[in-house]
Amino acid sequence: MTLAELICPAGTPAALRTAVDAGADAVYCGFQDATNARNFPGLNFTPEELGDAVAYAHAKGAKVLLALNTYPPAGKVDLWRHAADLGVRLGVDAFIVADMGVADYIARTHPQARLHLSVQAAASSPEAIRYYCENFGVRRVVLPRILTIPEIRQIRTEIPCEIETFIFGNHGLMVEGRCSLTNYLTGQSTNMDGVCSPASDVEYARHEDGSMSSQLAGFTIDRFGPDEKAGYPTICKGRYTAPNRAQSYYAFEEPISLNLSRLLPDLIDAGVHAFKIEGRQRSKSYVRNVVRAFRQAVDDIRNGRAANIADLVALTEGQKQTQGAFETKKWR
């Protein structure tokens, strides 16, 4: 049986302490800039805060993983290099990277540093994963959320590194690290600026009938009825009209969250080393409840007991959950 480490999100120092206290084996976080894919207003860590966070986590036996998982625009790599140097100096336990240039810089400059390949790299075949392992010494891959458990089991036999899979949170299935939908409407890049649906471009409007519409950069991307559950204002989860459709429909994906609580034993059996909880943009309340629930579940499984998973549906997007492609590729 693998260790089944629990990798938990933190958008603020207080959230990191909450995650550690709730039983995280490792917490991932980022700086307050474009070097990570949750570059949201008021979120993330100053270098001083990260140093304190590393000390807090290490004192309690937890690790800190620094997300440098965006892509530097051509000729503008200094911000990412500086962040990597800073991360080493502050004692983070690993870097989560997507860009080959960033991986190469860390591998050459800080050969002792541990590299994890971000889901943003969208490496989903043994060939792609091996390339990163052989050229940059990647020790763990975070798999895209498009693979079935039998496929993960097969990949495990063909790669020389650990596997991390998402188990809860946002269910974004676009070719990760390649999505340009936000860029198309706002001019800001999810992959290079670290902002998907920047808050400065989001607007909500309530209507007299009790419905609520969400807009991004002036384009309406959904309208929720008075009693309908809402989702994030992202283009990929928008509902659109089309000439060949009688009603508006979710053209790309639906507002729904991943929840693999029932598949944990199968994932462990398939050789998954670490379970990732999405949600650095979420509150301490979310972190506390989700981490506690999965800590209990993983410990139960490792001790040979049936896992008793707390009901987390209230925390899911649209208050709906799915096992997605992990269960079957026919999930939609």
Amino acid (1-letter code) at residue 165: T
* Size of site (CB under 8 A) for another protein: 41
**Based on CB atoms, which residue is closest to another protein, 30 or 198?**
198
Interface residue with another protein, options 5, 8, 9, 17 (CB under 8 A): 17
CA torsion through residues 227, 232, 233, 234, sign: negative
Residue 244 and residue 126: Cα distance in Å, rounded? 39
Taking CB under 8 A as the rule, does residue 316 contact another protein? yes
Q: Which residue do the tokens 């007991």 mark?
A: 305
Distances in Å between the Cα of 201 and the Cα atoms of 41, 152, 198, 255, 282 are 12, 38, 6, 19, 19
Taking CB under 8 A as the rule, does residue 140 contact another protein? no
Dihedral pair phi/psi, residue 298, rounded to 5°:
-65, -40
In sequence order, what are the beta bridge partners of 164? 142, 274
**Based on CB atoms, which residue is closest to another protein, 52 or 300?**
52
Taking CB under 8 A as the rule, does residue 168 contact another protein? no
Sites for another protein among residues 180-199 (CB under 8 A): 198-199
Interface residue with another protein, options 3, 41, 175, 241 (CB under 8 A): 41
Taking CB under 8 A as the rule, does residue 310 contact another protein? no
Tell me which residue of 188, 209, 205 sits closest to 197, measured CA to CA. 188
Taking CB under 8 A as the rule, does residue 318 contact another protein? yes
Interface residue with another protein, options 11, 72, 172, 194 (CB under 8 A): 11
Interface residue with another protein, options 40, 95, 105, 136 (CB under 8 A): 40
Q: What is the nearest approach in angstroms of another protein to the Cβ of residue 275?
A: 20
**Based on CB atoms, which residue is closest to another protein, 271 or 318?**
318
Taking CB under 8 A as the rule, does residue 109 contact another protein? no
Interface residue with another protein, options 183, 220, 281, 296 (CB under 8 A): 281
What beta strand segments (E) does 30-129 contain? Answer: 63-68, 94-97, 115-117
87 three-class SS: helix
Interface residue with another protein, options 4, 6, 7, 15 (CB under 8 A): 15
Residue 36: CB atoms within 10 A of its CB come to: 27
Distances in Å between the Cα of 319 and the Cα atoms of 13, 170, 262, 298 are 27, 12, 17, 23
- Strands of 212-216's sheet, edge to edge? 202-206, 212-216, 219-224
**Based on CB atoms, which residue is closest to another protein, 8 or 149?**
8
Taking CB under 8 A as the rule, does residue 135 contact another protein? no
Interface residue with another protein, options 33, 52, 151, 203 (CB under 8 A): 203
In terms of Cβ atoms closer than 10 Å to its own Cβ (0-12, 13-18, 19+), residue 59 is exposed
Tell me the window of 103-111, 129-137, 227-235, 236-244 that interacts with another protein (CB under 8 A): 227-235
Residues that bind another protein (CB under 8 A): 11-15, 17, 40-43, 198-200, 202-206, 208, 212, 224, 227-232, 255, 281-286, 289, 314-319
